[in-house]
Amino acid sequence: MARFVNIALGQLGPIQRSDTRAEVVLRLCQLMREAHALGADLIVYPELALTTFFPRWYIEDAAEINSFFETAMPNAATQPLFDLARQLGVGFCLGYAELAQENGEQVRYNTSILVDKQARILAKYHKVHVPGHTEHEPWRRFQHLEKRYFRPGRHFGVTQAFGGVFGMALCNDRRWAETYRVMGLQGVEMVLIGYNTPVHNAPAPQHDDLSLFHNRLSMQAGAYQNGTWVAGVAKAGIEEGVDSIGGSCLIAPSGEIVAACITKADEVAIARCDLDFCAIYKKTTFNFDLHRQPAAYGLIVERKGETLAADGSPLVANKAPDSSS
């Protein structure tokens, strides 16, 4: 039996600091209604979809920081979204800031959840690649303090859901080949990614004009090289004076874009995704079992950064041809 899943991109326009959770949840519900009318099985929302992107501010007061976090999911503010999901029979993937309790300690994560058509939370993911900086850097036009506010997650898991193998990642994760490959090695067929990407990248302003190109480049490569669908969904537009890219898109295992948003506002785009279309890539060009050479990839897990030997020579040198042969 063919395995089709209708995936909706639930792009959000900006959320200002004064916007309440209730107002945002109303917008999420409206997007879900539109997605349902278009035949969606699942709607994917952005990273940190319940509030403004607060890591742009240096905040010292713990209570103020915690005001952007959820201590339970669902909670009073998000319950209407879960109720609507159950009523319409539409699953969703939602990003939010999570204040967790671990061994009696409070831990802050950048989290996403996968929720099924009965509104049950099937899986939770903690963002692994937490970008930005830890301390206040006044030279920047705005801060990117994710490293201050979030502890990194520790793994990329996958979940059997919606008739296939689903994975999640968040924003900066999409730029890293390892994100997709670790899920690819677990047979992932659909990777759901929410993001908030400011157009301006303070340490590398030369990249500003390339931000939409890099968005597509990363996700299209991840899809193709692992024979998986990828759904990338933005929170877009000018939030508290900071412009973020849109560019939400749905990518086939061929690397081709099959649906995309065209605004920087609340918008739904949808496509029918054939999960069996992954196999033509997973069984041929990217047949991992047949073609991967893990013995040659040791440095990837042994080392974090670029390293040379103490004498400056490469760790793995390509030998010069033997002059006698």
Residue of 171, 249, 261, 278 marked active site: 171
Kindly write down the DSSP assignment for every residue of 36-68, as one continuous string. Answer: HHTT-SEEE--TTTTS--GGGS----HHHHHTT
* 47 catalytically annotated: yes
| Nearest C-alpha neighbor of 127 from the set 47, 63, 202, 198 | 47
Cα atoms in the Cβ-side hemisphere of radius 13 Å centred on 247: 21
Name which of 90 and 97 has its Cβ closer to ligand CDT: 97
- The correct pick among 114, 171, 193, 275 for binding ligand CDT (CB under 6 A) is 171
112 lines the binding site for ligand CDT (CB under 6 A): no
Strand partners, 289: none
Residue 224 CB, shortest distance to ligand CDT, in Å, is 20
175 lines the binding site for ligand CDT (CB under 6 A): yes
Residue 187 CB, shortest distance to ligand CDT, in Å, is 26
Kind plus residue range of the DSSP H or E element containing 25: helix 21-37
Name which of 80 and 131 has its Cβ closer to ligand CDT: 131
The rounded distance, in Å, linking the Cα atoms of 200 and 150 is: 21
Residue numbers 40-69 binding ligand CDT by CB under 6 A: 47
Kindly write down the DSSP assignment for every residue of 68-122, as one continuous string. Answer: T-BSSSS-TTTHHHHHHHHHHT-EEEEEEEEEEEETTEEEEEEEEEEE-TTS-EE
* 171 catalytically annotated: yes
Beta-strand ranges (E) seen in the chain are 4-11, 42-44, 91-102, 105-115, 121-126, 158-161, 164-170, 190-195, 229-234, 237-239, 242-244, 249-251, 257-260, 267-274
* 93 catalytically annotated: no
Residue of 98, 127, 249, 264 marked active site: 127
Residue 171, amino acid: C
- C-beta separation of 42 from 233 below 8 A: no
Residue numbers 280-319 binding ligand CDT by CB under 6 A: none
Candidates 8-16, 61-69, 168-176, 280-288: pick the segment binding ligand CDT (CB under 6 A): 168-176
235 lines the binding site for ligand CDT (CB under 6 A): no
Name which of 49 and 171 has its Cβ closer to ligand CDT: 171
179 lines the binding site for ligand CDT (CB under 6 A): no
- The correct pick among 13, 46, 95, 132 for binding ligand CDT (CB under 6 A) is 132
Candidates 8-16, 82-90, 192-200, 278-286: pick the segment binding ligand CDT (CB under 6 A): 192-200
Would you please indicate which residues are annotated as catalytic (active-site) residues? 47, 127, 171
- Residues at the interface with ligand CDT (CB under 6 A): 47, 131-132, 144, 171-172, 175, 195-197, 201
